[in-house]
Amino acid sequence: MNLDFVRQIVFIKRKMPTQVQKFAKFKNKSSIEYNASLSLRDILESLIDKNMRDTNKMIETLFRRLQANRMGLFTIVKFSLENYFASISLQYVYEFFIKNKINEKYKPLLENYCDNVKYNLGGLPPSNNFADIMSQELKNELFEFFRIDGLTDCFYHINDFVLLFKKRVNQIYIKFGILECIKKVFYKRNQLKFQNKIKTHIDESQYTFLDDTKLPGNFVWLGYKIGITYGWQGIGITLDIEDIIMEHYRKAIFEAVKNNYADEEKMRLMLYSTTRRVVIKLHKHGKPNKNVSITPFKFYKNFKKYPELVGENTRRFMQGVVVDAFRQQAIAMPFYLKDYDPNSGYNLWHNFFANKAIVLNKSIGWTYAKLYQTMKKYPKIDIHSKSYDELAKMYIENFVIKFW
């Protein structure tokens, strides 16, 4: 049976702080096409390197590598592939990197999807897997090309790559090698109707080169600003993330002042809880997102593991962002911030290490058993045979003030 996936897809634009993001989604999640796409995602999971999905682990490994080579020769290169998802031909991925690795019974469905959708539309269930398969192939090719040049590590998150060399390597040669690998992985065969559209040049704004002769220096990866001096590494949040966090507090304070602090307690809870990981952000449909906590610092685990490496600028920002948001708008601070306590709930740095947060996410926070036992204390709520997400939704709806 041939399924018409395109007929079920709608395109959406989402405004982000620095860009407009375009992605696709299925109109009807009860459709055969949507359920078939979920099956495709599961089929492709076996071809994915799961280690490259654990961004916290990758960042931690990167820190360790940098610390282990404090005084030695090194070269670090970071590059990104632009418009990555939509540039990948699904027919190409299937024909040359999937077809010979999966069970025969899955091939008709995969061929149907690839022929119908044609390019890897971001937002659809199998999209990340298709992208990761190609990223993994590029990683393998990079190791093959630079095998005699001291390449020790290649990290990637979808289209963002970081290469670590244990010696100095010529910058022009590295860029040449990266481009050769891109051509070999994405353009080695040309007989298909729908070809990849990956750019065969690297935008300078997407490329960073750093070696031990160019210190002090820094590069940005996965939301971290990683600074390197002689014998020391420092980490911090990037300026764009600082801007996003500060803007959140400015808006919250502006709305509270406009309402003459009529709902001051609610405002206080909002400011307080968004500096902690209190609840999962609610979707408009009232369903919790099981993968996202509302901490403004996405990779808090590594800050907690390496507090001595957090740069002074990031430390100061985290300590003073709430108070500074009042000061920048020349707004009088409420009574609970006038005598500012460094151990206050409004000090993000303190909160980061206070270990008092509730995280309704079974992979990084409360376990199912913990959440279930908590809810058992309230016999009027039916928790029998409920999933983790259902229990989390009940907890939020019954015991947490909604402020999103």
DSSP of 276-344: TT-SEEEPTTS-EEEEEE--SSTTHHHHHH-GGGB-HHHHHHHHHHHHHHHHHTT-PPPHHHHS--TTS
Residue 360, classed as helix, strand or coil, is coil
pLDDT of residue 16: 59
Among residues 118, 143, 136, 112, the alpha carbon closest in space to that of 53 is found at 136
pLDDT band at 284 (very low <50, low <70, confident <90, very high): very low
**Cβ–Cβ < 8 Å for 123, 23:** yes
User: Which pTM value belongs to this model?
Assistant: 0.74
Q: For 299-332, write each residue's pLDDT tens digit.
A: 456 777 778 788 888 888 888 888 898 888 888 8
- pLDDT, tens digit, for every residue of 122-137? 889 999 999 999 999 9
Is the Cβ–Cβ distance between 320 and 294 less than 8 Å?
no
167 phi/psi in degrees, rounded to 5: -150, 175
State pLDDT tens for residues 31-71.
Answer: 999 999 999 999 999 999 888 888 878 888 888 888 777 66
For residue 76, report the phi and psi dihedrals to the nearest 5 degrees.
-120, 130
Tell me the per-residue pLDDT of 197-252, one tens digit each, with 9 for 90 and over: 998 888 888 899 998 888 888 888 887 888 888 766 788 888 777 887 788 778 87
What is the spatial distance between Cα 333 and Cα 105, in angstroms, rounded to a whole number?
65
Categorize the per-residue pLDDT at 72 as very low, low, confident or very high, splitting at 50, 70 and 90: confident
Higher pLDDT, 49 or 104: 104
Query: What value does the mean pLDDT take over residues 152-163?
Result: 93
- In 3D space, the residue among 7, 9, 145, 18 whose CA is nearest the CA of residue 77 turns out to be 145
Contacts of residue 6, Cβ cutoff 8 Å, sequence gap at least 6: 116, 117
